[in-house]
Copies of this chain bind each other. A is one copy, B any other.
Amino acid sequence: MLNYSTSEENYIKAIFHLQQEDGTVTTNELAAELKTKPASVTDMMKKLKTKKLVHYEAYHGFRLSNEGKKLALIIIRRHRLWEFFLAEKLKFSWEEVHAVAEDLEHVSSKKLIDKLDEFLGFPRFDPHGDPIPDANGRIETSKQVCLTELPLNKTAIVCHVSDQSSEMLEVLGHKNIMIGTRLEVKKRFDFDNSLEIKTGKQAATTISDQLARNIYVKTA
């Protein structure tokens, strides 16, 4: 069932990401995304069509078939689990993980990935806050986002704090914020980027930019 080349996998993953927005993807879009030429994209689309991974009619764009989507989620799972591993276990910084994961994602042993998942404690989000598909390809629909980027008045749930120091936990405890807390940002002060937030039925509190940077939330 699965034994695809690095090139095929990179195309499938890129189509998956592009069609999230557009629905259907064009030749030029994909060529730009993959830093290749439109002619190369057409060649590859013909091949992926015969392999039943994409729906494609000449001149009318393409989108992934169900098979193609399943494959994309497998590759995304590998990519994000490796990113998590690199950040969490090897202490790579946030920005470094992507490039290395871009290569590691093409090592295709199913057992490797499932054991890695287990070793990492079945993490749900990669270091950029993107959800990690599970072994069956199921993926959380809502993206994890830093509290600093949450739009005003949008209800969200705290799902991760990146700094676990006792100082951090002290201030969180005092403000009654923990994993699972439902909150909304009511105001954002441009002067110092501090936030006024509302949690449940309590009075509003203010959160510094410093603190907000370490809190990740999921929109419901």
Residues of A within 8 A of B (CB): 86, 89-92, 96, 99-100, 103-104, 107-109, 111-112, 115-116, 118-119
Given A86-B112, A100-B111, A104-B104, 7 extra CB contacts under 8 A: A90-B116, A92-B111, A92-B115, A96-B111, A100-B112, A103-B109, A104-B107
Main secondary structure on chain A at its contact with chain B?
Answer: helix
The answer to whether B107 touches A103, judged by C-beta atoms less than 8 angstroms apart, is yes
| Contact residues in B for A103 (Cβ distance below 8 Å) | 107-109
A89 to B111, CA, bound (A): 13
Q: How far is the CA of A109 from the CA of B98 in the complex (A)?
A: 12
Nearest-CB residue, chain B, relative to A116: B90
**Chain B residues with CB below 8 A from A111, complex form:** 92, 96, 100
Whether the pair A91, B115 counts as a contact (CB closer than 8 A) is yes
- Bound complex: CA A52 to CA B116 (Å): 38
* Bound: A91/B117 CA distance, A: 12
- What's the least CB distance linking A104 to chain B, in Å? 6
